[in-house]
Structure 1
């Protein structure tokens, strides 16, 4: 086996061109993991040679990536916000678009003590990102999947974030008391969507991706349940599909939410909708 240089390894990105939207980045991340080096090191030392063991490990990872396995699963982690989070097949892999939800949540509430719930937390990405920015907030994260609960708890511990509690249960079911903000990135893909048979999502749990009623079922359930746990003046904020903005706005307005608006993600798509709960019929007012 001839020695492979860093530059030659980076050239393997061409083999991923039809599979990945970010072939060069995929290769860089795999190579950094194999070498234990930073991306800047790769560019500084393009002529450096991989050892036989490193070359074999790199080729194994490349083969698995070419078979469609997500880079995050190959590495065992995904960077989100300012955090490095462990991932597993039990959960959705955190995506950059979801940082839009984190940004909006931070803008909605001032930096003061608050109770915030994250429904269907998965890796814990949203709750942990918010907790890292707002140490005076109390975060309650819920998930029905036992593997996700264990993973989110592990990530909270690894990130040294003590203001997050992870509870097992479906959506609002484990909650008690009232919240200033409820956030969620629930399943919102139509079960018949052809994209489910393409790319990384083939390796992620369908339960974290799809919802009945053309992807709207869980969004509807959360919007209905949240009214019983939001303080008057509390916000509901959730991520949804790029083509669901109008339907989600209509849903929230029909349930009595006001100041409803949708924000766009990094790609310019409608992605996160918020609504203010003023209390009254359909919910439970804080005493």
Structure 2
């Protein structure tokens, strides 16, 4: 539990004890919060403390260091302590502050959506290598927060983009992100491609669940939706199912870009080739394929 020094007043809230001190400075809070986070093995302890406090004060991290000796009000301290307690429980920072940056834009996230990862940005970069200037359709399968499909729409506005997900709650977040970022996309609820009617998708992008149930994961992943992380068959079941469904909604020459753990890449490439998908490129966690026939 967080307890940021005291000399003035304190109160109990359930099992939590917050210690409030009207003489606590920004620097003092950051130092104590970072120490508590480091004590439980969080390697980004100071950064996390800065993000929590900057979000609480609605100020930049630069402001915190420029005004390190400013005192926190009891209200600010209360809110910061409550958020620190969430982080000490290993709640991801993105869920605490409610958003995550992806490709230079902020996306709203909730526990109903997977938190965007930096490695997924490679999907957008790879897409740029194959997108032409011709109008075309793109579908983002398992969209979650919508970060991939919305980014594709904003980076390549001539594309007609569809976001799909099997989670109603995730689709609501994706729709909200599209509205906030002024992205003109269509959202549909579908289990992979089962409810997708169009046969004219030129581009398919997907960050499907690929974590094997036996893999050791960080405590933070316990807060994320398991259906967005884990899959059967060594983590490859949904990717393999997608390969089988692709011919129904794509054309010869269509591009598929997906993400998976590099340890899985040889198996994925072998299965893709057996399904008439030519392997074009591997970049980090991401793979690009072209439909051969």
- Determine if the TM-score, normalized by the shorter chain, exceeds 0.5: yes
Q: CA deviation at 1:278?
A: 2.5
Q: Deviations over 1:207-242 (max 9, x none)?
A: 111100010101101122123222221111100113
Asked if 1:187 is matched to 2:209, the reply is: yes
Q: Deviations over 1:89-117 (max 9, x none)?
A: 11111111111111111222134422111
Contact 1:19 1:199 (8 Å CA) reproduced: no
Contact 1:187 1:209 (8 Å CA) reproduced: yes
Identify which range, 218-227 or 18-27, moves more after superposition: 18-27
- 1:10/1:246 CA distance change after superposition, 3 Å: same
Aligned counterpart in structure 2 of residue 150 of structure 1, from 148, 156, 172: 172
Q: C-alpha distance in 2, partners of 1:110/1:16?
A: 47
1:3-82 to 2 correspondences below 5 Å: 3-11=23-31, 12-17=33-38, 18-82=40-104
Q: Give the corresponding residue for 1:167.
A: 188
1:1-287 to 2 correspondences below 5 Å: 1-11=21-31, 12-17=33-38, 18-162=40-184, 164-175=185-196, 176-195=198-217, 198-264=218-284, 271-279=285-293
RMSD of the alignment, in Å? Answer: 1.4
TM-score, normalisation: structure 1: 0.90
Q: C-alpha distance in 2, partners of 1:2/1:53?
A: 10
- Structure 2 residues without counterparts, runs of 5 or longer: 1-20
Contact 2:199 2:251 (8 Å CA) reproduced: no
- Structure 1 residues without counterparts, runs of 5 or longer: 265-270, 280-287
List 4+ stretches of structure 1 deviating above 3 A. none
